[in-house]
């Protein structure tokens, strides 16, 4: 079974994270939410508290995909986390899938992982996608990188991850179950 890690930082965008986790789990992907500050609970940008499955210091393996939800100040905390940056870069360098939505593609840009890639993000963060060809699309897949615009693109974001890890037919079936 393919494994996915979703990194939760205080101030993450709850719907981007939880919609993605929900759809990935519906696709039978082994999806684990990690608290990057090693707490059991993480409060999002709209004051919704979520219990993480595990703490970042418990992470001891590589995944088929790592996911960075957006939101503020969650994206700032992701960018400031040496551990998250190292894990994202390691996954990228091993040609594993790296996915970021909303403001979080800026983390990939700051890590210089978008050089020569097509990408998208929440409007206003385009200048932080260093080296990327920025597209005005809900979700963009380019090689082992998936980016998406924001909450309104969470379904397309999860669809792209499922398509990359399993196949489009499975992704289409999962999305159909939510009457999107």
Neighbours of 43 (CB within 10 A): 16
CA–chain centroid gap for 63, Å, is 13
Does residue 54 lie in a domain region? yes
121 in active site: no
Strands (E), the chain: 3-8, 30-35, 41-43, 49-51, 54-55, 65-68, 97-101, 118-119, 133-134, 139-142, 145-148
Report cis status (omega within 30 of 0) of the bond before 73.
yes
Per-residue pLDDT of the chain (180 residues; tens, 9 = 90+): 999 999 999 999 999 999 999 999 999 999 999 999 989 999 999 999 999 999 999 999 999 999 999 999 999 999 999 999 999 999 999 999 999 999 999 999 999 999 999 999 999 999 999 999 999 999 999 999 999 999 999 999 999 999 999 999 999 999 999 987
CB 14 within 8 A of CB 20: no
Confirm if 21 and 88 have CB atoms less than 8 A apart.
Answer: no
In this predicted structure, what is the pLDDT of residue 38? 87
User: In which domain, by residue range, is 7 found?
Assistant: 3-175
Exposed/middle/buried for 26, CB within 10 Å: 0-12, 13-18, 19+? middle
- For residues 67 and 58, give the distance between their C-alpha atoms in angstroms, rounded to a whole number: 17
| pLDDT of 43 | 98
Per-residue pLDDT at 172 = 98
Query: Considering 15, 65, 102, 121, which one is annotated as catalytic?
Result: 102
pTM for the predicted model, two decimal places: 0.97
DSSP string computed for 74-125: HHHHHHH-HHHHHHHHHHHHTT-EEEEETTTHHHHHHTT--TT-EE--STT-
Residue 11 lies in a domain: yes
The residue among 160, 158, 177, 156 whose CA lies nearest residue 6 is 158
Indicate the number of domains in the chain. 1
In a domain, 115, yes or no: yes
Residue 46 pLDDT: 97
Domain assignment present for residue 180? The answer is: no
**CATH number for the domain that contains residue 33:** 3.40.50.880
Give the per-residue pLDDT at 122. Answer: 98
Query: Is 28 inside any structural domain?
Result: yes
pLDDT score, position 8: 98
Determine the pLDDT at residue 180: 76
**Is 163 part of any domain?**
yes
């Amino acid at each position: 079974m393919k494994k996915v890690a979703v990194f939760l930082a205080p101030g993450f965008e709850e719907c981007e994270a939880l919609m993605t986790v929900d759809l990935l789990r519906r696709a039978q992907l082994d999806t684990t939410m990690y608290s990057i500050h090693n707490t059991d609970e993480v409060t999002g940008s709209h004051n919704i508290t979520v219990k993480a499955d595990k703490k970042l210091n418990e992470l001891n393996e590589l995944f088929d995909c790592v996911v960075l939800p957006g939101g503020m100040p969650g994206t700032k905390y992701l960018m400031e986390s040496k551990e998250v940056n190292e894990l994202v870069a390691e996954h990228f360098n091993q040609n594993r899938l790296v996915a970021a939505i909303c403001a979080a593609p800026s983390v990939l840009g700051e890590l210089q992982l978008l050089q020569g890639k097509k990408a998208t993000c929440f409007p206003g963060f385009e200048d932080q996608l260093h080296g990327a060809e920025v597209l005005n699309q809900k979700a963009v897949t380019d090689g082992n990188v998936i980016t998406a615009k924001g909450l309104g693109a969470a379904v397309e974001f999860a669809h792209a991850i499922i398509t990359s890890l399993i196949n489009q037919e499975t992704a289409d079936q999962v999305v159909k179950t939510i009457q999107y």
